[in-house]
A and B are shown apart, each in its own frame.
Chain A
Amino acid sequence: MPEKKIRVLIAKPGLDGHDRGAKVVARALRDAGMEVIYTGLRQTPEMIVEAALQEDVDVVGLSILSGAHTTLFPRIANLLKDNGLDDVLVLAGGIIPDEDVPALNELGVRGIFGPGTSTEKIVKFIEEEIGKR
């Protein structure tokens, strides 16, 4: 039966080793019927974008709790653009202070899901956004 699946890349940029949230979200998305490619830890922006390109994902989810998002996210956003991937839905989770959110939105991060977000909310968001396309 031919079927389109939503393909999601879940990535851990930088040195941050806290992968509990990334793995929980990955499982939740799988249980919602999506194909989730998990990159593992210690990904450089280059590795993340390369994976997004090769896997032809609809969504890139970045999980980061170390505070290094201010440096790493702009690099990732630029590389996505350089590689013609700016139609990919970019989401973020982890520890991202409210004051940083507007700048990230500017970069193209469409959804920021901090501590306390229910996995259902993330699933719904993705399904709605991808559904629009």
Chain B
Amino acid sequence: MKLVERLLTGDRRAIARLITIIENDGAEAQEALAALYPHTGQAHIVGVTGAPGTGKSTLVNELAKVYRKRDRTVGIIAVDPTSPFSGGALLGDRIRMRDLSGDAGIFIRSMATRGSLGGLARSTADAVKVLDAAGYQTIIVETVGAGQSEVDIAKAAHITIVVEAPGLGDEIQAFKAGITEIADIFVVNKADREGADRTAMALQMILDLDHSSHLSSQTPEWRPPVCKTIALHGEGVGAVVEAVEEHAAHLRESGNLQRRERERIERELRSIITQEMTRSFFERLDEAQFDSLVDSIIRRELDPHSAATILLKG
């Protein structure tokens, strides 16, 4: 595919166009992915999630700067929610990333969730592949943390950073959202604010509980560190990158990397199959038959499960 060839030579417009094609999910998308896939697998994918107001974009901006200093190229995908009413979206994460402009070793793309239930667009994982094939060594995916999405991100990334900030309420936001398990690293950002130490301690306590009940969730034998940062000033960010590298090393050495990769690919394959089957089923569906079955259900002549069996058999 022409665009893919251009991408492989470093053509940035091709990268951008390919991400769009994949987002729009037409026939071209599959063709593109097929051509890209052999070139993927090198990038280190870092997920960054957390409640609004925790300073994620600023942190991502600073992480990218640290990586650039270490001569690593960085791709960034910033995901924001699509409005359920209008189908449109306001994407503003670039506002916080002006430091990264003019650097050919950085590529930033904003994506809207487009109706997907979590904080990740359905096509985010595929967009990551585009950046991976284009040679970006670290790819940071930033999402709004509110529950479902973070689980998505944990599955799509090699490492997940959960960002907290003091002063956003009495509870640890991540705990409230039930996502402490997906964190490989906790970052307490805005650490100059009152309550930062308490937040960090609370996180340690949660980790102690987890640790005693079962070996850590995401990555066996890895206790997520709790890092304090003031992303606005770039403070503490270096330590976060160190922790990311340690985690990567740990995965490799423990042999878990391959296992997780395999699990990830299995999940992805199943997910695609499910999506395809669902799509194909509904494309072939006889609407009239469907409507008539719905009528039967309403009249209590039939129950939904039996109706489904009829449709699936047919």
Of the candidates A5, A29, A39, the one having the most CB atoms from chain B within 10 angstroms of its own CB is A5
Decide if A129 is an interface residue (CB 8 Å cutoff): no
Q: Are B12 and A2 in contact (CB under 8 A)?
A: no
Binds B, one of A50-58, A61-69, A98-106, A114-122: A50-58
**Chain A residues, Cβ within 8 Å of B19:** 56
**The one of A3, A27, A32, A47 that contacts B114, using a Cβ cutoff of 8 Å:** A3
Binds A, one of B43-51, B102-110, B266-274: B102-110
Contact digits for A26-42, partner B, Cβ 8 Å, 1 yes 0 no: 11011111111111101
Contact digits for B102-134, partner A, Cβ 8 Å, 1 yes 0 no: 100001111010110000000000000000000
Decide if A4 is an interface residue (CB 8 Å cutoff): yes
Q: Are B110 and A55 in contact (CB under 8 A)?
A: yes
**A residues contacting the other copy or chain, number (CB 8 A):** 33
Closest to B87 in A: A33
Name B47-96 residues within 8 Å CB distance of A: 82-83, 85-92, 94-95
Query: Which label, helix, strand, loop or mixed, suits the secondary structure of the B interface?
Result: mixed
Q: Are A33 and B107 in contact (CB under 8 A)?
A: no
Closest to A28 in B: B88
Of the candidates A26, A37, A53, the one having the most CB atoms from chain B within 10 angstroms of its own CB is A37
**Chain B residues, Cβ within 8 Å of A85:** 13
A55 to B13, CA, bound (A): 9
Q: Are A54 and B88 in contact (CB under 8 A)?
A: no
Question: Given A83-B13, A84-B13, are A5 and B101 also a contact pair (CB < 8 Å)?
Answer: no
**Chain A residues, Cβ within 8 Å of B115:** 1
* CB-defined A-B contacts under 8 Å, sample of 21: A1-B115, A2-B24, A2-B25, A5-B87, A30-B88, A33-B86, A34-B88, A35-B89, A37-B91, A38-B95, A39-B95, A40-B94, A44-B101, A46-B101, A50-B102, A51-B94, A53-B12, A54-B16, A55-B16, A56-B19, A85-B13
Give the shortest distance, in Å, between A84 (CB) and chain B (any CB): 6
A131 to B76, CA, bound (A): 30
Besides A2-B24, A5-B114, A56-B20, 14 new A-B residue pairs in contact (Cβ under 8 A), listed by A number: A29-B88, A31-B83, A33-B88, A35-B110, A35-B112, A37-B91, A40-B98, A47-B102, A53-B13, A53-B16, A54-B12, A54-B107, A55-B16, A84-B13
Q: Are A36 and B101 in contact (CB under 8 A)?
A: no
Decide if B262 is an interface residue (CB 8 Å cutoff): no
**Chain B residues, Cβ within 8 Å of A56:** 13, 16-17, 19-20
A interface residue numbers (CB < 8 A to B): 1-5, 7, 26-27, 29-40, 42, 44, 46-47, 50-51, 53-56, 83-85
Closest to B21 in A: A56
Q: Are A32 and B16 in contact (CB under 8 A)?
A: no
**Chain B residues, Cβ within 8 Å of A42:** 98
**Chain A residues, Cβ within 8 Å of B109:** 54-55
A61 to B146, CA, bound (A): 32
Closest to A34 in B: B88
A83 to B12, CA, bound (A): 10
**Chain A residues, Cβ within 8 Å of B13:** 53, 56, 83-85
Decide if B26 is an interface residue (CB 8 Å cutoff): yes
Closest to B104 in A: A50
**Chain B residues, Cβ within 8 Å of A36:** 88-91
